[in-house]
Structure 1
Amino acid sequence: MAVIDDWNTDRVHRFRAEAASRGLPTEEVEEWIRAAVPGTFFTQGGDGPLVARTGGDPILPKDAPDPCRPLIARVDCALTPQGATGLPLPSAGHLLFFADVDLGLHGPMSDAVYYVPAETPATVRRVDTGYGPFESHDMRTMWHHLSPPMPESFAEARWDAPDDEEYELAEELESAWTHVGGSWPTWTFALGAHPVVLNDDPLLLTRDDESETGDAAADTDDWVLLATWRGGEQVRELDSYVVSWMIRRQDLASLRFDHVYSHVDRT
């Protein structure tokens, strides 16, 4: 399996050195490092086992209901190293991700993610969902590394009502991090990591929604980014778009996928 398996501890050391050479505040440098979370990233190509596939028709058990949204991706959990995403993923079986690609779609969905346990008899299900099926792409290459938040998200989480200087500092931190990071392949699908923000941070939107409409005693910080799909050419009406799936960490650990938030954004 083609795997770039590098948590890149050296990158953190290089980042500290680069940030120091730019005169960036040590406290904010360390906060940037603490804010980084692990992620696993998938891309097309490779010559190893099929770790994930985007598009195509879903493979579902006979008693599973027909999906009303197109299949976005199917991930083999057994081939995703435990701990590589920072999430309590199942150790075997397949996770299937579904989504509408209508701009601005955001909210809880009971059928956005489906888990097929290992050894469960399943067959290809051909259904008409409007958009799909998307063109199928095999992904046999994956890699793991720390993912920092996007600068605007970092600034808004770090400071109350950040000013222009604080936003600029966040941009400088990202610049220093990117400068020492080397070159990574262009990824299409990811598990874990921080959200890709085009207009609004989907994870912050989800936490805000839950704080307003959910259980007042619930911990909104338990919400995490489960997966991200960066699309484009699959849907002619959309040029560049991102689909994100959010879930409570405790629900993921319990294999409960009936309250996943989906979010679609585009440039």
Structure 2
Amino acid sequence: MLDHWNTDRVHRFRIEAASRELPTEEVEEWLKTVKPAVFWTYEGDGPVAARLGGDALLPEEAPTPTAPLAATIDCSLLPSGTGLPLPADGHLLFFAKPNISFGGSKDGIVRYIPAGTRTTARSADSWYGAYPSHDLRMAWSGSSTPNPDTYALAKWGDDLDEEEDDRVTQLAAEITHAWTSVGGHWPMWTFALGGNTTVLNYDPLESVREDEPEDAEDWVLLATWRCAEEVKELDQGVMSWLIRRKDLATLRFDRAHIRVDM
């Protein structure tokens, strides 16, 4: 759902789409798939509400991580525009190994540390070294658009003939281009909460829904890390953490899944 912050952009997008003679019905259907998200970069102008890498701050009784710490998010500094039922305070910690075989449900890949918890710095019990530590500043909260190929596949399926497949994929790309041309596209970001998936070789959300068909439509994208060049094992890869919305609402982060792609 788009909030009031995006109202003017949506209005300009509709005008632009009409000027390109894009089908109104298809434009409106596409808009329904735009999701709210929060984005961070190394050089944003917002508060330092997140940190990449380093050691994890964990309670003494917590089990030692078996994967390096990817990111720490300060929930108290999150805006309301994530579209997810996230905790109001405390910290969310995301863990992952820089390996495309590191996927599925893994112990401790997302941990929630309530506010006021006494913690100490802990290194992961993993032969992978810690990720370089960087402060992340909030860049913006706003809209996240779907990948054109993923959108076309979800809407029209994969049983089209080659000509029809090319037509609908091109239509999705043209709608996306109309959006970006009116300012709907933002600068490169590093880490995000919520939003649509970042697709390289496959869509991580569709992947987890295929593997976990029960309550398939309840799965949502929790976080995405677009790994920079310092994560050399992945060569500009993407890590995606996914969770069922009902599990997120009850803080059952032990049920989260992860997908790593490059």
Same fold flag (TM > 0.5): yes
Partners of 1:6 and 1:145 within 8 A in 2: no
Q: 2:170 aligns with which of 165, 168, 171?
A: 168
* 2:21 matched residue in structure 1: 23
Q: Which residue of 2 aligns with 1:121?
A: 118
Q: Which residue does the alignment assign to 2:226? A: 230
Q: Structure 2 vs 1, CA of residues 121 and 47 (structure 1 numbering), >3 Å: closer, same or farther?
A: farther
Matching of residues 6-45 of structure 1 within 5 Å: 7-45=5-43
Distance 1:165 1:237, change over 3 A: same
> In terms of mean alpha carbon deviation, does 10-19 or 153-162 score higher?
153-162
The question of 1:261 aligning with 2:261 is answered no
CA contact (8 A) 1:51 1:79 kept: yes
Q: Which residue of 145, 149, 160 maps to 1:148?
A: 145
How far 1:255 sits from its partner (Å)?
0.3
1:150/1:196 contact within 8 Å kept: yes
Distance 1:239-1:81 versus aligned 2 partners, 3 A rule: same
Query: What is the percentage of aligned positions where both structures have the same residue?
Result: 56
The amino acid across from 2:208 in the alignment is T
**1:152 positional shift:** 0.7
| Residue pairs, 1:12-91, within 5 angstroms | 12-45=10-43, 49-82=47-80, 84-91=81-88
Whole-Å separation in 1 of the counterparts to 2:153 and 2:241 = 21
What secondary structure sits across from 1:153 in the alignment?
Answer: helix
Cα distance in 1 for partners of 2:141, 2:4 equals 6
Q: Secondary structure of the equivalent of 2:48?
A: coil
Cα pair distance change 1:249/1:241, threshold 3 Å: same
Structure 1 residue 240 and structure 2 residue 239: aligned?
no
Identify if the C-alpha distance between structure 1 residues 75 and 22 changes in structure 2 by more than 3 Å, giving closer, same or farther. Answer: same
Match of 2:208 among 201, 206, 209: 206
User: What is the deviation of 1:250?
Assistant: 0.5
Structure 2, unaligned runs of 5 or more: none
Measured after TM superposition, the shift of residue 55 of structure 1 is 0.7
Determine helix, strand or coil for the equivalent of 2:5: coil
Unmatched 5+ stretches in structure 1 = 212-217
Report the CA distance shift for 1:182/1:193 in structure 2 as closer, same or farther (over 3 A). Answer: closer
CA distance in 1, matches of 2:211, 2:122: 34
Matches within 5 A, 1:90-129: 90-129=87-126
Instruction: Give the C-alpha shift of residue 182 in structure 1.
Output: 5.8
Q: Normalising by structure 2, what TM-score?
A: 0.92
CA contact (8 A) 2:67 2:124 kept: no
**Cα pair 2:99 2:234 within 8 Å, conserved:** no
Alpha-carbon distance in 1 for matches of 2:139, 2:15: 28
Query: What amino acid does structure 2 have at the position aligned with 1:204?
Result: E
Cα distance between partner residues in 1 of 2:150 and 2:44: 33
Matched residue, 2:190 = 188
Once the two structures are superposed, residues 87-126 of structure 1 have per-residue CA deviations (whole angstroms, 9 ceiling, x without a partner) of 0000010000001111243211231100000001011113
CA deviation digits over 1:207-227, x for unaligned, max 9? Answer: 11111xxxxxx3211000000
CA distance in 2, matches of 1:48, 1:27: 37
Compute the RMSD of aligned alpha carbons.
1.7
TM-score by length of 1: 0.91
> What CA deviation, in whole Å up to 9, does each residue of 1:19-68 have, x standing for no partner?
11111100110011111110000111357643000011111111111000
Q: How far apart are the structure 1 equivalents of 2:63 and 2:168?
A: 49
Q: Which amino acid aligns with 1:157?
A: A
